[in-house]
């Protein structure tokens, strides 16, 4: 995951630890996330982290891919496609209506990979974000107005 943070240029803000992963992925029921891993021998060569949005307008959950990362030397060897195929099977098994994910606009190689799998860029929606500071400020302003 640290390699992914470096690749996506947010390593300075990376806060995930072994403890966080164990707590959120293995000690909570249901877990906050699920993870598929690809190994070659005893080496981890890739992973795909996902979670579910329980209810949508389709009355079916969406599977949300949060992270897909393949270590550099293992790219273009079919590992990513195998992980995507495995998560597609999970989405079908759990009755999902859609799989969604985000990719950095500068990640042209990733964009092409997803297009080859049948992925489409959703031009109808813009992603919005509130930073931690912004949502805390908003929450405080709501409390002040009561």
Domains of the chain (ranges; CATH) run 2-144 (3.40.630.30)
State percent of the chain over pLDDT 90. Answer: 67
Instruction: Please give the average per-residue pLDDT across 113-135, as a whole number.
Output: 94
What's the pLDDT at 145?
62
When computed from its CA atoms, the radius of gyration of the chain, rounded to whole angstroms, is: 17
The DSSP secondary-structure symbol of 61 reads P
Q: What is the mean pLDDT of residues 46-67?
A: 92
Measured CA to CA, the distance from residue 63 to residue 11 in angstroms comes to 26
Mean pLDDT of 103-121: 95
Q: Please, are residues 70 and 81 in contact by the beta-carbon 8 Å criterion?
A: no
**Which is nearest to 51 in space by CA: 31, 80, 69?**
31
Q: Which two tokens stand for residue 56?
A: 């949508």
Q: Are 38 and 44 in contact (CB under 8 A)?
A: yes
What pTM value is reported for the model? Answer: 0.78
pLDDT at 13: 77
Confidence of residue 25 (pLDDT cuts 50, 70, 90): low
């Amino acid at each position: 995951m640290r390699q992914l943070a470096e690749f996506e240029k947010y390593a300075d803000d990376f806060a995930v630890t072994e403890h966080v992963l164990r707590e959120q992925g293995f000690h909570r029921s249901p877990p906050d996330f699920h993870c598929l891993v690809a190994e070659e021998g005893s080496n981890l060569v890739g992973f795909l982290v996902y979670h579910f949005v329980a209810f949508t307008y389709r009355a079916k959950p969406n599977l949300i891919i949060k992270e897909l990362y393949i270590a550099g030397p293992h790219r273009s060897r079919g590992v990513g496609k195998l992980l995507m195929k495995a998560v597609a099977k999970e989405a079908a098994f759990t009755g999902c209506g859609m799989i969604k994910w985000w990719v950095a606009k500068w990640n042209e190689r990733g964009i092409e990979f997803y297009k080859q799998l049948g992925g489409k860029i959703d031009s109808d929606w813009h992603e919005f974000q509130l930073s931690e500071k912004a949502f805390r400020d908003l929450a405080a302003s709501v409390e002040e107005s009561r």
